[in-house]
């Protein structure tokens, strides 16, 4: 990378090299049997350069010809993408514990054994179709630029996902474990999942209308997606955000706080710098319902006149290969702060309502303005504080700003799930439509 930097200084005004290497072992179980086992190694380089205020970029899997790599980035400048910012000078970063050496001792045999154990317990207590996946991953990330930034980090990650599918239903209940190294799935979490499945197995019908809805963690990205869209520097710049210019206002329930904390190294993936080499920071988006901050990468920090907030990541909504993606404003370490009620207490608080365990069509509706209309996948009916069964053919619709003004309670613990660390949230007066 040092030789490449020397050539970049001659070819352009500024240059940046992003290098990522990762290796992983994954295990896939279906209905208690080993379905697939895979080991993978990936490596790649991504290059950005700025010349006469124009941005160029290129990427490669194998850095065989540095001159050709630079020429590809120079050729991309024909697109005339303006870049009025500088690549950062970043130093004196905090030291974060992002790698657990114990992960090196975890082989595929241990992952398979853990999947067998979990599957056996579920099969002995339910009639569910079981989908179970485990991935163990390590990665090395390095970023250098011509402005003397040289940053790097090493990461380890262990993810386990359990799904209990209702027979013939195509939907089910999910549980995710997320850590820096292998650890056995806690028995109480597994029993809680099995218990909710068994209580909700019976199909039931109900009339629709406004009712209480308990958003389980797996469904909450429906709400956070809209909140993040409105606070992204990209949508502020494009003037499609309904909360632009409203920092300091009480917009949501005082019970609700949303933050991005990349410096929390108790969780996997902590980062002292983003994918542009900018130092990261803990950022409150909403605190006790009050809008606090928007977030930017280098591009939109320049366009909005604020500078980067350290939230430029090579990431897409549904994943993707960081080597091929360009940085954009993203919150990669999101969490909703917990409340003071257990999940069981929240269910007992419900007179008549729906537990939204998963959704179909989270992309439906005007996302920047907060609208959504999703199919329940699945939905669990609660009457007089007790689960009575599972609802089919139902939809939940609303606007995130109205929904999160009517929070009744928030669970006292966070769960790893798609999009962040989220507790369950109980809301009132949500529109539910059913087939009956």
**DSSP assignment string, 116-136:** HHHHHHHHHH---EEEEEEEE
User: pLDDT (tens digit, 9 = 90+) per residue, 320-336?
Assistant: 899 999 999 999 999 99
Helical axes 108-125 vs 187-199, angle rounded to 10°: 40
Q: Which residues lie closer than 8 Å to 279 by C-beta, 6 or more apart?
A: 88, 90, 93, 272, 273, 310
Architecture, CATH, for domain 2-192? 2-Layer Sandwich (3.30)
Instruction: Please check the confidence at residue 105 and state whether its pLDDT lies above 90.
Output: no
Q: What is the pLDDT of residues 283-297, one digit of tens each?
A: 999 999 999 999 999
What pLDDT is recorded for position 104?
87
Percent of the chain with pLDDT over 90: 91
Token reading at 83: 């870049």
Give the mean model confidence (pLDDT) for residues 210-237. 97
Tell me what pLDDT residue 263 has.
98
Distance from first CA to last CA of the chain, Å, rounded?
64
Q: What share of residues in the chain are helix, strand, coil (percent, to 5)?
A: 20, 40, 40
Q: What are the DSSP E strand ranges found in 87-199?
A: 129-145, 150-165, 172-179
Q: What is the pLDDT of residue 435?
A: 82
Over residues 156-192, the pLDDT tens digits come to: 999 999 999 999 878 899 999 999 999 999 999 999 9
Strand, helix or coil for residue 241: coil
Where does residue 170 rank: exposed (0-12), middle (13-18), buried (19+ CB within 10 A)?
Answer: exposed
For range 6-35, the mean pLDDT = 95
In terms of Cβ atoms closer than 10 Å to its own Cβ (0-12, 13-18, 19+), residue 99 is buried
- Banded model confidence at residue 232, pLDDT cuts 50, 70, 90: very high
On the question of pLDDT at 1 being above 90, the answer is no
| Domain spans in the chain, listed from the N-terminal domain onward | 2-192, 200-436
Assign 36 to helix, strand or coil: strand
Rg (CA), the chain: 23
Per-residue pLDDT tens over the stretch 374-410: 999 899 999 999 999 999 889 999 999 999 999 999 9
């Amino acid at each position: 990378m040092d030789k490449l930097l020397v050539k970049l200084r001659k070819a352009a005004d500024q240059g940046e090299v992003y290098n990522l290497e990762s290796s992983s072992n994954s295990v896939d179980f279906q209905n208690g049997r080993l379905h697939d086992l895979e080991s993978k190694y990936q490596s790649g380089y991504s290059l950005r350069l700025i010349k006469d205020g124009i941005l160029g970029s290129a990427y490669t899997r194998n850095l065989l010809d540095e001159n050709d790599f630079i020429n590809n980035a120079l050729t991309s400048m024909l697109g005339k993408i303006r870049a009025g910012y500088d690549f950062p000078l970043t130093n004196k970063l905090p030291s974060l514990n992002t790698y657990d050496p114990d992960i090196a001792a975890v082989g595929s045999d241990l992952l398979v054994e853990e999947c067998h154990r979990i599957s056996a317990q579920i099969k002995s207590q339910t009639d569910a179709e079981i989908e179970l996946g485990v991935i163990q991953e390590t990665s090395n990330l390095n970023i250098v630029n011509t402005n003397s930034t040289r940053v790097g980090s090493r990461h380890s990650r262990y993810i386990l996902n359990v799904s209990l599918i209702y027979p013939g239903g195509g939907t089910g209940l999910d549980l995710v474990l997320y850590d820096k190294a292998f650890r056995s799935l806690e028995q109480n979490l597994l029993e809680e999942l099995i218990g909710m499945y068994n209580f909700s197995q019976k199909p039931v019908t109900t009339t629709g209308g406004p009712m209480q809805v308990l958003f389980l963690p797996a469904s909450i990205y429906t709400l956070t997606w809209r909140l993040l869209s409105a606070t992204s520097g990209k949508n502020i710049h494009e003037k499609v955000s309904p909360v632009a210019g409203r920092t300091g206002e009480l917009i949501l329930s005082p019970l609700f706080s949303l933050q991005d904390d990349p410096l929390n190294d108790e969780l996997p993936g902590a980062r002292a710098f983003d994918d542009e080499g900018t130092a990261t920071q803990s950022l409150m988006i909403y605190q006790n319902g009050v809008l606090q901050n928007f977030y930017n990468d280098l591009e939109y920090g320049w366009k909005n006149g604020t500078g980067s907030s350290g939230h430029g990541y090579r990431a897409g909504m549904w994943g993707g290969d960081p080597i091929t993606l360009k940085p954009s404003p993203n919150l990669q370490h999101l969490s909703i702060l917990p409340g003071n009620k257990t999940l069981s207490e929240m269910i007992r608080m419900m007179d008549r309502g729906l537990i939204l365990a998963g959704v179909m069509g989270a992309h439906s509706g005007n996302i920047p303005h907060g609208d959504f209309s999703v199919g329940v996948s699945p939905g669990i009916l609660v009457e007089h504080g007790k689960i009575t069964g599972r609802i089919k053919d139902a939809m939940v619709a609303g606007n995130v700003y109205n929904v999160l003004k009517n929070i009744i309670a928030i669970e006292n613990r966070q769960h790893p799930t798609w999009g962040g660390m989220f507790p369950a949230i109980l809301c009132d007066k949500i529109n539910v439509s059913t087939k009956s």
